[in-house]
Amino acid sequence: MSYINPDIYAGIDLTSFDGQLPFKLTNDYFFRAVMQENNRVLKSLVCALLHLDEREVLDVQILNPIELGRHVDEKDFFLDINILLDNRLSVDLEMQVVNEGNWVERSQCYLCRTFDILNKGDSYANVRPAVQIGIMDYTLFPDAPEFYATYRLMNVKSHKIYSDKLRISVLDLKHIELATEEDRAYRIDHWARLFKTATWKELKALAAMNPIFTDAARTAVVLSEDEKIRLQCEAREDYYRRTGWKDEYIEKLTAENQQLASEKQQLASEIQQLRQLLEKAGISISQDS
């Protein structure tokens, strides 16, 4: 159910807004609020990420709506959006800002929870395909950055897909420059820029390229003027500031691990070269030495 009367949107003139946005859409509470409030925006985003024609999708339903503006305890703050498309596809969508070092595990848990929805007596053959999509404001795999990556169950030797009913996708907002031609064809790079936009000038420029962003901007205006929603968004901003050190710490550990792995590989190569030189010189050396 809509939190705010949709008739309010039509009268909003975006040309009168300037300066900084009240909140970026990387604020996961604000992202959730906009997507829950405006089904057209949600549908457009999900169809872009899934490479679907919007005209062929009739219904996009949020299965776990929240009461916007209601206080949520930080320890219970989970804002993944469970979506059902045309009663045939389950999607778990989340904006992930803070790198807690466990997204690979969390995303798999979310995917399994989304997939395992059969009731007693239901046929396994009728289980709906499930997709987990993480929109990340950090790079999940620094050693292999990719703008929009998709993972499936696959045979490691033949690369045959085991099942097309399970999928995990990751959208990296830090690497929009790596968007492929296919990503751009579905305007996923436009969506990424929308999420990262910090000023009204940038937002209006994007809205000029994609009318659905005008819808998103007007929704953002109305929601950001609601005091209860503002308080929840500000609480999230405070949380990001207090936990920001985690990202730096995890990135530092990742870099150090990569450096150690590189040095270990280099040392192994040098040892192998030394063994070969010794063997040529007629000096025998055991493998354990």
pLDDT at 162: 94
3-class SS of residue 288: coil
Decide: 48 and 186 in contact? Cβ < 8 Å. yes
Each residue's pLDDT tens digit, 102-133: 999 999 999 999 998 888 888 888 899 999 99
pLDDT at 271: 80
The mean per-residue pLDDT over the stretch 58-83 comes to 79
- Per-chain mean pLDDT for the chain: 86
d(CA 155, CA 162): 7
Residue given tokens 């937002």 in the structure block: 203
- Give the H/E segment covering residue 195: helix 188-196
For 25-29, 68-72, 184-188, which range has the lowest pLDDT when averaged over its residues? 68-72
Burial class (CB in 10 A: 0-12, 13-18, 19+), 234: middle
**What is the 3-state composition of the chain as percent helix, strand, coil, each rounded to the nearest 5?**
50, 15, 35
* Residues sharing a CB contact under 8 Å with residue 102, sequence separation 6 or more, in sequence order: none
Residue of 147, 197, 177, 239 whose CA lies nearest to 26:
197
pLDDT above 90 coverage of the chain, percent: 52
Q: How confident is the model at residue 86 (pLDDT cuts 50, 70, 90)?
A: very high
3-class SS of residue 7: helix
